[in-house]
Structure 1
Amino acid sequence: MKIIKRRLGITKVIGVTLLILLILVGLLAPWLSPHDPLAINLVNRLSSPNWNYLFGTDHLGRCILSRIMYGIRTTIATAFLIMLFTLLISLPIGLITGYIRGRSDHFLMRIVDGTLALPDIVLMIAIVGILGPGFFHMIVAIVLVRWANYVRFIRSLVLKIGNEDYIRTARISGNSHINILKHYISPFIFPPIIVFGALDMGRIVLLIAGLSFLGLGAQPPTPEWGVMLHDATAYFQIAPHMMIFPGLAIMFFVLTCQLISERGRTIDTSI
């Protein structure tokens, strides 16, 4: 028997490095961007990529590269904000339902199952349709859709750890439930949650871009990747660069999240 261990730690390093670079570009966008992302210049509208406009211009003559740089602020900051709100809701619910169980666990998990039964985009469109289009309503819709995934994941981690011998020992020793959750369970579930969250960041960015593309999220002239894709649909045949570069930005960020969430794998091969 040969055991071949392949550690993919290098992918995490690459992913974290790329994410840091993206965040830095977003933070330094006012100094790095070559043009004002909101400045309209109809003389240069629909210009192809050139030395003055490296990514070309859109239908209003705005610099696409500058809008993508500023879009990092809007898209990634919104994704982190959604992630924070989602964890604030799902973490205590997942801990309590996985640890205490009983009727409350059964009731909450039926709500989770009902939420997960519908496709994310369909449920989000329904929520935003009720609340109305807008940036804040988009955040609310994504949080209300994504929280169920985190609750189920956190609950499964707590259920697994709750059956360990050291948890039984902690209970016999007289530790309170809060103390067990705080010192014996929480430290072991945070690393998997971080990995799960890093992978989900890519999904959240796709949902943000999707809602903005449909006109239900960020609204023009906000420099947001989904809004840029929405603006490009009418000009794709004559100015494909309007859609290509924002699409590549979204794909690059999703790939970065995939690299960060990549875990070491152990492959067992028997000969």
Structure 2
Amino acid sequence: MQKVLYRLDINLIVGIGLLMLIFLVGIFAPWISPHDPLAVNLANRLSSPSWMYPFGTDHLGRCILSRIIYGIRISVTAAFLIMLFTLMISIPIGLVTGYVRGKTDHIFMRMIDSTLAIPDIVLTITIVGVLGPGFINMIIAIIIVRWANYVRFIRSLVIKVCKEDYILSARMSGNTHPRIMQRYILPQIFTPVLVFSALDMGKIVLAIAGLSFLGLGIQPPTPEWGSMLRDATAYFQIAPHVMIFPGLAILFFVLACQLISDRFRKLDSTTLKEV
């Protein structure tokens, strides 16, 4: 595959910087957080932003800033777990289907196409509704929905690599099929897959927040951006800050992923196509 030299631009720098800042805040949450995110103080409920509570308090008097900071750990950890297990499932399947092809591959891809025909959010809500709300069930549901996108993308990369002359040379040299996939194909698709998965983080965080907002994801009192938005809906008119700041947290994370993705989409629309 051809190597592409990535030239930094302002969007890429801002996106990477914003994403690193969010990660660092989540890592150092115990030292940065001004208050206990679970501490209830009804005397200060729905307080406006102040020096003591920079983002104000929610309906139970909990510090919104502290809950947003700790929410980074929940949302990002869940997103990484989903990404890890999705790649563990989709990479072997994408390698085999893209390399072998034939009638079996055709039938398998038609099954994936039928899955992709259903909107992600509808299928995710259906699966979580069957499994029941909770952190683990939410992760399982999103993995079930997202893996088909990755298999389709990985398969297209493998097909492209298999057209290269060195793959034919490897076959003529007597290499077995598993060895060819492991030694010659996997290293070539590894970097594009990592880039694609990193760009998908924003969508996954949105899915996590959406499920929690509907009461199907992470349950209270765990600080999570989507559940904070759900709790804030009843108080938005009298205390708009309880919804504005968690919404901005989601916006900035997705914006960081979007700024990075826009740059990479311009590099190779064939390899890094949007799913």
TM-score, normalized by length of structure 2?
0.91
Residues 128 and 41 (structure 1 numbering): CA distance in 2 closer, same or farther, change over 3 Å? same
Map 1:1-271 → 2, pairs under 5 A: 7-9=7-9, 11-261=11-261, 262-263=263-264, 265=266
Shift of 1:249: 0.6
State the 1:104 CA deviation. Answer: 2.4
Task: Kindly tell me the number of residue pairs found equivalent between the two proteins.
Answer: 263
CA RMSD in angstroms comes to 1.8
Q: Which has the higher contact order (CA 8 A, sep 6+)?
A: 1
The verdict on how the C-alpha distance between 1:198 and 1:130 changes in structure 2, with shifts beyond 3 A counting, is: same
- CA distance in 1 between counterparts of 2:267 and 2:211 reads 38
1:7-52 per-position Cα deviation (integer Å, ceiling 9, x unaligned)? 3455444433332222221121111100110111111111111111
Q: Deviations over 1:86-107 (max 9, x none)?
A: 0001010000000011232122
Tell me the alpha carbon deviations over residues 68-91 of structure 1, each in whole angstroms, 9 at most, x when there is no partner: 000000000100000001000101
Deviation at 1:161, TM superposition (A): 1.0
Partners of 1:7 and 1:65 in 2: how far apart? 36
User: Which TM-score applies when normalising by structure 1?
Assistant: 0.92
Residues 138, 216 of structure 1: 8 Å contact kept: yes
Deviates more, 1:28-37 or 1:251-260: 251-260
Could you tell me how far apart the structure 2 residues matched to 1:76 and 1:28 are? 14
Q: What secondary structure does 1:263 align onto?
A: helix
Deviation at 1:6, TM superposition (A): 9.2
Which segment is superposed worse, 118-127 or 98-107? Answer: 98-107
Report the CA distance shift for 1:183/1:14 in structure 2 as closer, same or farther (over 3 A): farther
- How far apart are the structure 1 equivalents of 2:111 and 2:96? 15
Structure 1: distance between partners of 2:201 and 2:135 = 18
Equivalent AA in structure 2 for residue 67 of structure 1: R
**Gaps spanning 5+ residues in structure 1: where?**
none
In structure 1, distance between residues paired with 2:174 and 2:50:
71
Unpaired runs of at least 5, structure 2: 269-275
Q: Alpha-carbon deviation of 1:239?
A: 1.0
